[in-house]
Structure 1
């Protein structure tokens, strides 16, 4: 069991959760405010996506990222910022029978450098690197991260002095992460996020989690989470497996059955679970020391 645990709050994500809960933040101000709320509740890290303020749809608009980052940094609340770099890897086929031409309205593919434009300008302490391609959820959508793209993105993140959070959704992606490390594209200390229970990646049963942990070098730092109703049980599961935890409205909108949560609610519940397990919840300063982060890099 890990007895010194940091909490990441994934505050909004890119999915249509805003259609089910009015607590999901949409505008840059709302996203910044809820990141601050999560930090005050005990989260050391805020994982940030941005959305179109008018529609709530996923966005990669640099101005929205800039506003969120500036608002958080100018606040009196300390939190480690973790910006997604997952946008720009979306392929949607035309249909099962006619995959080409692609569904251009929903396909969003960028080159490696363009996917990191906001990271290069804003220099968060952490950014994500989704470590593989997968059938993500249903329909004809493919989350696309080729080996060449991953190598290019890892090299650019390394050059920027930002700590990548390696997002692992299944076993093959752990193999890719270890390959990037062997090639010198990931610096110590390596940070991994085990993303469990997401169709069609690794299921969130405890044996699969422990098997993934066993595949990881023992000196790597990891967090683990699951989506939906398993998010809060995974707070305990992740700590018991030796890791850190992630909660937030990106992955789950409920505090309990039928009770909509805020990000602060979910972080407070995570803190209670961990402290009742006699674990210490780490501060942003603790995380910076643990992960050798470059503050406001």
Structure 2
């Protein structure tokens, strides 16, 4: 059981959810406001994607990230900033020639994937630790070992903590290899991602198996998607982990009731407190995760 829980709120993501809920933030101001709302509700960390303000689709434009980060930092609300570094790995084979990229492909190198991280220098950025069939279509998310090693090397140089996002056991195996090679600063921080088609299923058994494969000194969190968001949060707390909630992974508070990020964080904090624990502050999270700006 974890009695002092780091709550992350993933406020928007890059998925096609803007047409399904008016609460999914799109513009830099809306995304920054969502991060601030989540922090005021009890989240220590805001996990941030950006979207094209005109189309609502996910973007990797460093200028959009910079605007969001500046707005959050200029506010009077403290929150640990965690920027995604997962954009730029999408491959969709062409219907005419599968050896060539088709519509929807967005493949770039490790330096470009981290351009906004270098610009903004957040305390945390995500690092998706392997390749994955993403959904039932032809989309593949690609992160090869050389790409990941280079991204880990750069984040280590910049003092940005990589959140090692793992979607199946092979990802944990490679993350541990990067740790052994000295590419990840101590203590390593993992995010066990459950329910993404076609990664690991969201169940207590799956979470325990993946947790048991982590290094003994690792900090870890986990999340489930859609209606399993809160059950997986409770399971992670019971197993000694931290949690992630937010509109990136689930847009409902209850069946048929659309949520805001603040409401999802409040629900998660209530679950933690009913289990006898508490949600820690942003500064406590920095200290626990050994982030830049910690008191350790």
Counterpart for residue 127 of structure 1: 125
Counterpart for residue 73 of structure 1: 73
CA RMSD after TM alignment: 1.1
Counterpart for residue 9 of structure 1: 9
Distance 1:48 1:281 in 2: 20
What is the TM-score when the length of structure 1 is the normalising length? 0.97
* Per-residue CA distance 1:242-279 (angstroms, 9 max, x = gap): 10000000000000000000000000000000000001
Distance 1:73 1:40 in 2: 14
Counterpart for residue 23 of structure 2: 23
Q: How many residues align?
A: 294
Q: Does 1:47 align with 2:41?
A: no
Q: Do the aligned residues in 2 keep the contact of 1:84 with 1:128 (CA within 8 Å)?
A: yes
Tell me by how many angstroms 1:235 deviates. 1.5
What is the TM-score when the length of structure 2 is the normalising length? 0.98
Distance 2:288 2:142 in 1: 31
Deviates more, 1:267-276 or 1:210-219: 210-219
Q: Do the aligned residues in 2 keep the contact of 1:69 with 1:122 (CA within 8 Å)?
A: yes
Tell me by how many angstroms 1:98 deviates. 3.8
* Per-residue CA distance 1:201-230 (angstroms, 9 max, x = gap): 111111111011111112100000000000
SS of residue matched to 1:46: strand
* Per-residue CA distance 1:77-129 (angstroms, 9 max, x = gap): 0000000000011111113x7413211x3111111111101111110000000
SS of residue matched to 1:17: coil
Task: Please list every run of 5 or more consecutive structure 2 residues that lacks an aligned counterpart in the other structure.
Answer: none
148, 151, 167: which one aligns with 2:149 = 151
Q: Do the aligned residues in 2 keep the contact of 1:94 with 1:100 (CA within 8 Å)?
A: yes
Distance 2:99 2:265 in 1: 44
SS of residue matched to 1:36: helix
Distance 1:38 1:102 in 2: 38
Counterpart for residue 64 of structure 2: 64
Q: Report 1:131-142 matches (<5 A).
A: 131-142=129-140
Q: Do the aligned residues in 2 keep the contact of 1:91 with 1:109 (CA within 8 Å)?
A: yes
Counterpart for residue 102 of structure 1: 101
Task: Please list every run of 5 or more consecutive structure 1 residues that lacks an aligned counterpart in the other structure.
Answer: none
SS of residue matched to 1:85: coil
Q: Do the aligned residues in 2 keep the contact of 1:89 with 1:108 (CA within 8 Å)?
A: yes
Tell me by how many angstroms 1:295 deviates. 3.4
Distance 1:71 1:269 in 2: 26
SS of residue matched to 1:246: strand
* Per-residue CA distance 1:47-80 (angstroms, 9 max, x = gap): 0000000110010111110110000000000000
Counterpart for residue 174 of structure 2: 176
Q: Does 1:210 align with 2:208?
A: yes
Distance 1:194 1:200 in 2: 14
SS of residue matched to 2:22: coil
Q: Do the aligned residues in 2 keep the contact of 1:135 with 1:143 (CA within 8 Å)?
A: yes
SS of residue matched to 1:193: strand
